[in-house]
Amino acid sequence: MARQASKSVARARQKKKYVYFYGFGRQHTEGDASMKAILGGKGANLAEMAKAGLPVPPGFTISTEACAYFSKHGGKYPAGMLEQVRANLAKLEKMMGKKLGDPRNPLLVSVRSGAAISMPGMMDTVLNLGLTDKSVRGFIRQTGNERAGWDCYRRFIDMFGDVVMGPSTGLCHHDFEQALTKIKKKYGAKEDTDLTASQLKELVEIYKKVYRNKVKKPFPQDPAAQLDLAIRAVFSSWDSERARKYRQINKITGLLGTAVNVVTMVFGNMGDDSGTGVAFTRDGATGEAKPMGEYLVNAQGEDVVAGIRTPHPLEDMPKETNPAWKRVYKELQNIMTRLERHYKHPQDVEFTVEQGKLWMLQTRNAKRTGLAGVRWAVEMATGRDVFTGKPQPKILTPKEALLSLTGQDLEQLLFPIFDPVAEKKADFLGAGLPAGPGAAVGKIVFHADQAEEMVRKNPREKVILVRHETSPEDVGGMWAAQGILTTTGGMTSHAAVVARGWGKCCITGASAFGIDYRKRVVTVGRRVLREGDWISLNGSTGRAYAGQIPSQESPIIGAVSGRDRKAARHPFYKMFKQVSDWSDTFRKMKVRTNADTPADASLARAFGAEGIGLCRTEHMFFEGERIWAIREFILAEDRKAREKALAKLLPYQRRDFEGIFSAMRGLPVTIRLLDPPLHEFVPREPKEQAEMAKRLGTSQARVAARVRQLHEFNPMLGHRGCRLSITYPELCVMQTRAIIEAACNVEKRKRIKVLPEIMVPLVGSRTELDFLAGIIRQTADDIITRRKSKVKYSVGTMIEVPRAALTADEIAETAEFFSFGTNDLTQMTFGFSRDDIGTFLPDYLEKKILPSDPFQHIDSSGVGQLVKMGVERGRHTRPNLKCGICGEHGGDPASVKFCYRAGLNYVSCSPFRVPIARLAAAQAAIKR
């Protein structure tokens, strides 16, 4: 029976489909855009374009499931995959009328990666596969283009050597580049396009020697073996260091692997009527509704994206001497318009022109800056250019527009920009292409690994990565840098695409900058800047300056705060307001703010906050004279002395609350009673202890003794939160008085309705809350009765101890609201110290023990279950129980969406995160 079962499992595996054909119209194409998880983005979109009748080179896609199997089983293919590859290759050969690597009529293919989520340049591609010493001559006879034949062969040897054999032998593109440089010098060729057929033939022989010297084997002459090795290399690139680092930086998880696309080659290196390029249906840096892109004549695809040669802008196409380009330009514009409307998202396309015929090699949702993303969403849904007011086609609904955005997009609109007056006076060095907007200032660094290491050692270190060009291996340093400057490459080079995707400032093609890596200097004319010198980049204009230029706040901040009336007419603010208005239309969950001062409260309200979800009273204790009052309280030896000290604090606290209540003008304000342990308010150094003793009229020995007494081995689980007020009830009385007296004063003097919510922290049992709620209510009611006030208040608690979530039904008998303090709840649920997690969290993330930092994104399967349980049990007792969240998770989009699903009434976050939380809450409601 067991043997029969294993046979049936084996048969099922053999029947499983791993390879999907596309091309030659709808009838021959398997798959479509909905199958990205299996076919990868590239494969799914090739199939979609083929079904739509667009000019796509035919081929087949090996699924991401095959890659997952390959990764898990030590580099073995799943059963049946190889047979399916052979069958689909035979079908392709039959339909093309050619055979892979045939000496007389060769079929050549590219082998390209493509995961479900775009990862530009992170995985590998091989072009011109199938060329051998014999088939290259067949290709030349087939095309009548000797130069193109030898050019393709030398490119293939280079890419195969670097991509396929490089990881195991150390052979790399630079080895071949050195040989190319020597032969160009030998024949006086400025560009590789200046080399003749015979010179390229000579270069092929040199490349084969370079290959043999490193690999210790001759270049393979069996096309089937070439294909097998290339497929293995692409699968293996999924687990390369650069790919893993890119996924970690971009928080990409849950993917099976990369698909492999085997695509019939089309050739952009056939002469002046051929070429290759990359284009975007809209500008990925500024968001302008104008196609942007670059191309090279007589070149192959990698020449453009690698940034090795600086390409021509797309609008130059009709100006080329060969008339074919004018027609190709028009056809490309039409296809791009069609693709954008089909996918309802600006597209990033790759194309090749072979002897005047346009071929589409790829389309995908374009990477863009936050500015571009917000502008795209607003303009595509309103049908109007936010800068000029000119009409555009409406492509999206407001709901679709919101779903196309991320919190980071809005966040980037709030970034500082250079002070225009200071920039005018700055020391201008030179300019390049504005590949990634924003302002960046930092120290010059020439190597990515050095940038990464500097920032790892000192997270506050600011560096600018300056390179000839970047490659996928540089992603760690690119992420660490404030900005990137390259001397070559265009708007679609690797540096530009990756930087735009991250919203990072970037200038490319700054050809006036000369870099000497050995001497670690960069020269611009007669100027010499050394590693470590400061440089400032304006990614919106492409201009670079020596030194540090001061920045100023975003016009959105000026408009929202009311400090700059002109800013309300700025396009940035118009876009921001439109997105915020749409968010408020669709969201059902409220958004509050964490604010401890009237200034923060006012700003948050201007950003759309609907109340304060967390006002931390301890932050008020550190200012000016009040720190001495709290220290006097700490030193006091009896209740009378403590009450005397607290009486000095009372007017300060009352004044603070009056300012906050006035700023919120009728919105609810949740005030947390004192939470941190008392040791945080006393000095540790002897010199400061001596000052404290002198100021309070006591001995230094007494101060030192009290500091020692307050020491705890684990203060986060020690004498803090509600435990302080249980030990010192007079503290709870003073804070309640300050809150309620302030509320009465504001309501009477300013005719403003005040809604104070008094929150007891760190409760683990109902009895703790009962004890303090009794003190709060008696104190508050006495004041309200004496003042004849109509102030309404409520008493609730923070659910941050796991036991509180488990006994939420009991606690809700006393608590009128719950606020989940997910910082401490995460800490106690995992048993992780938030302050010490940095010592091991990187290992947990790298080894996939955890999918993400649980203090950044709520752990929905653990901590999240406690939140859900707390809500359900609390409302079982008190059906109208108001529940919110006030930890750092309140401003994290993924956590906000979880909170909506968990049934919370509101989230609370820092003022600058309020717009992001509003957007996330709207997206959660739309998706629900």
Judge contact between 293 and 313, C-beta under 8 A: yes
H or E, element range at 229: helix 223-237
Q: Beta 347-354 vs 19-22: how paired, if at all?
A: unpaired
Question: For residue 794, what are its two tokens?
Answer: 């409520």
Angle at 94 between CA 91 and CA 99, to 5 degrees: 100
- Which amino acid does the sequence have at 546? A
CA distance 147 to 515: 33
CA distance 255 to 271: 41
Which among 418, 411, 414 has a CA at the least distance from the CA of 557? 414
Q: Produce one character per residue of 71-80: b if its CB has 16 or more CB atoms within 10 Å, e if not.
A: beeeeebbbb
Question: For residue 380, what are its two tokens?
Answer: 């595509």
Largest separation between any pair of C-alpha atoms in the chain: 104
3-state secondary structure 492-559: CCHHHHHHHHHCCEEEECCCCEEEECCCCEEEECCEEEECCCEEEEECCCCEEEECCCCEECCHHHHH
Angle at 403 between CA 400 and CA 406, to 5 degrees: 145
CA distance 617 to 625: 16
CA distance 745 to 738: 10
With 0-12 / 13-18 / 19 or more C-beta atoms within 10 angstroms meaning exposed / middle / buried, residue 340 is: buried
CA distance 799 to 757: 15
Q: Which of 173, 345, 494, 857 is catalytic?
A: 494
CA distance 148 to 139: 9
Q: What angle, rounded to 10 degrees, do the helices at 863-877 and 822-830 form?
A: 120
Sequence-separated (6 or more) residues with CB below 8 Å from residue 833: 716, 827
Torsion angles phi and psi, residue 747, rounded to 5: -65, -35
Which among 593, 570, 573, 569 has a CA at the least distance from the CA of 581? 573
Torsion angles phi and psi, residue 821, rounded to 5: -90, 85
Q: Which of 886, 889, 899, 909 is catalytic?
A: 886
Neighbours of 868 (CB within 10 A): 17
Judge contact between 109 and 263, C-beta under 8 A: yes
Which among 689, 622, 682 has a CA at the least distance from the CA of 649? 622
Residue 28 annotated to the active site: no
3-state secondary structure 576-603: HHHHHHHHHHHCCCEEEEECCCHHHHHH
Residue 619 annotated to the active site: no
Question: For residue 783, what are its two tokens?
Answer: 């004041």
Judge contact between 604 and 620, C-beta under 8 A: no
3-state secondary structure 35-74: HHHHHHHHHHHHHHHHHCCCCCCCEEEECHHHHHHHHHCC
CA distance 320 to 774: 84
Judge contact between 373 and 293, C-beta under 8 A: no
Residue identified by tokens 């050195």 is 178
Judge contact between 78 and 17, C-beta under 8 A: no
Which among 161, 98, 164, 140 has a CA at the least distance from the CA of 269? 140
3-state helix, strand, coil in the chain (%, to 5): 50, 15, 30
Judge contact between 919 and 612, C-beta under 8 A: no
- What residues act catalytically? 494, 886
